Amino acid sequence: MIIVFRPHATQEEIEKIRQRVVDFGYEPKIIQGVEQTVIAAVGDETMHKSLETFETLPMIEKVVPIQKRYKMVSREFSNEPSVFDIGSSRIGSGNFLMVAGPCSVESREQMRTAAGDLTDCGIKVIRGGAYKPRTSPYDFQGLKEDGLALLAEIKEEFGVAIATEILSVPDVERVAEVADILQIGARNCQNYHLLEVVAGAGRTVLLKRGMATMVEEWLSAAEYLIVHGCPHVILCERGIRTFENSTRSTLDLSAVAVAKKQSHLPVVVDPSHAAGRADLVLPLAKAAIAVGADGLIVESHPNPQEACSDAVQQIPSGKFSEFYDELKPLIELCNKP
């Protein structure tokens, strides 16, 4: 940490702070400028008490932390990109993962048609929400346990892995019984208690970035998962809230590039929730691949017009092969280990 004194701090004040830095377990290095003095407090910031409270002292102008607030997710911890298996698929370091399926699990027929269409295109991980986080309490909230039972049937019948969202702590065990990928939705990215419990479920976790979450906060949320026992974390950029309203969210492709630079974890993109409209999903998916995403999670429904949620953004599952075929050459080009 760097402690910056206000101009003309007295020698006595500087000495007092130097002593406190030592008491907190850091080695102080004093840099005396013409007007201002700075103390660089050398030591592992995660092991010692934070010096940030020094900012409340009258002779201190500011305290600047140098170390990142996350460790295990960082490239400093592991410079090799993480690679792991989900069912019969692999993600990371040139292994591109395509996840597709309806926004919500609605019926057996809907899920069987979607899974049939999507597995015909080579999709091995099917998504579908049984528990839905809806903005309005009057909207479809998901089939909940009945939805989980349908996902279990799909898993069995089609031999696919399942990605589904987990909304609350009491559901963790029953959702983890069916899910290969536990999705933490944008609204729960910083629900730390949920992250801690989900981390112990023994499943891969797909952590969506919150709509107003900075990359550092998103990576710190991933750190919670790793610290609490989940080594297999997939980061997912799904668009953030900006002033722009021609799309549902603004797909922040810079964040994908930054996350991949800062972290060894695989990063996927959800172009469906970013666009909020089906006609933009393909161009956003192409851009995501080009920027280095390790995979995509795309909403696809047998009959989008009849979908109980996110109708306008879903790609008809019967046309998914056209969508996927457009992406395959790019995936091939951009994904080298």
Binding site for Mn ion (CB under 5 A): 103, 310
When asked if residue 103 is in the footprint of ligand PEP (CB under 6 A), the reply is yes
| Residue 232 within binding range of ligand PEP, rule CB under 6 A | no
133 is in the binding site of which of Mn ion, ligand PEP, none (Cβ under 5 to 8 A by kind)?
A: ligand PEP
The CB-of-190 to ligand PEP minimum distance in angstroms stands at 12
**Under rule CB under 6 A, residue 102 binds ligand PEP:** no
CA distance 32 to 118: 65
Longest dimension (CA), the chain: 78
- CA 143 distance to own-chain centroid: 25
Give the Cα separation of 165 and 188 in Å (integer). Answer: 10
Task: Tell me if 273 contacts ligand PEP by CB under 6 A.
Answer: yes
Q: Which long-range contacts (CB under 8 A, 24 or more apart) does 90-95 make?
A: 91/234, 91/266, 91/268, 91/294, 91/295, 92/266, 92/294, 93/337, 94/335, 94/336, 94/337, 95/294, 95/335, 95/337
Closer residue to Mn ion, CB minimum distance, 116 or 276 = 276
The interface partner of residue 126, options being ligand PEP, Mn ion, none and the CB cut-off 5 to 8 Å by kind, is none
- Minimum CB separation of residue 272 from ligand PEP in Å reads 8
Q: Is the dihedral of CA 64, 217, 293, 242 positive or negative?
A: negative
Reference 204, options 174, 169, 168, 162; nearest CA is 162
Kindly state the number of chain residues that form the binding site for ligand PEP, as judged by CB under 6 A: 10
Whether 300 contacts 315, CB under 8 Å = yes
Q: Residue 185, interface with ligand PEP (CB under 6 A)?
A: yes
Nearest distance, CB of residue 256 and ligand PEP, angstroms: 15
Rounded Cα distance between 184 and 334, Å, is 27
The residues pairing with 208 across neighbouring beta strands, listed in sequence order, are 236
Residue of 175, 186, 219, 281 interacting with ligand PEP (CB under 6 A)? 186
Q: Which of residues 113-142 bind ligand PEP (CB under 6 A)?
A: 129, 133
Which residue's Cβ has the minimum distance to ligand PEP?
Answer: 185
Is there binding between residue 222 and ligand PEP (CB under 6 A)? no
Q: How far is the CB of 147 from ligand PEP (least distance, A)?
A: 12
Q: Confirm or reject binding of residue 267 to ligand PEP (CB under 6 A).
A: no
Closest CB 295 distance from Mn ion, rounded Å: 17
Nearer to ligand PEP, 1 or 100 (CB): 100
CA distance to 24, 39, 131, 145, 209, per residue, from 215 (Å): 29, 28, 26, 33, 8
- In DSSP terms, which residues pair with 237 in a beta bridge? 269
- The minimum distance between CB 185 and ligand PEP, in angstroms, equals 3
Q: What angle do CA 118, 331, 302 make, to 5 degrees?
A: 20
- The angle, 0 to 180 degrees and rounded to 10, between the axes of the packed helices 192-199 and 215-227 is 40
CA atoms within 13 A on the CB side of 53: 5
**208 contacts which partner out of Mn ion, ligand PEP, none, CB within 5 to 8 A by kind?**
ligand PEP
- Choose the stretch contacting ligand PEP; rule: CB under 6 A; options: 180-188, 225-233, 260-268, 320-328: 180-188
208 touches ligand PEP by CB under 6 A: yes
Contact residues for ligand PEP, defined by CB under 6 A: 103, 129, 133, 185-187, 208, 238, 270, 273
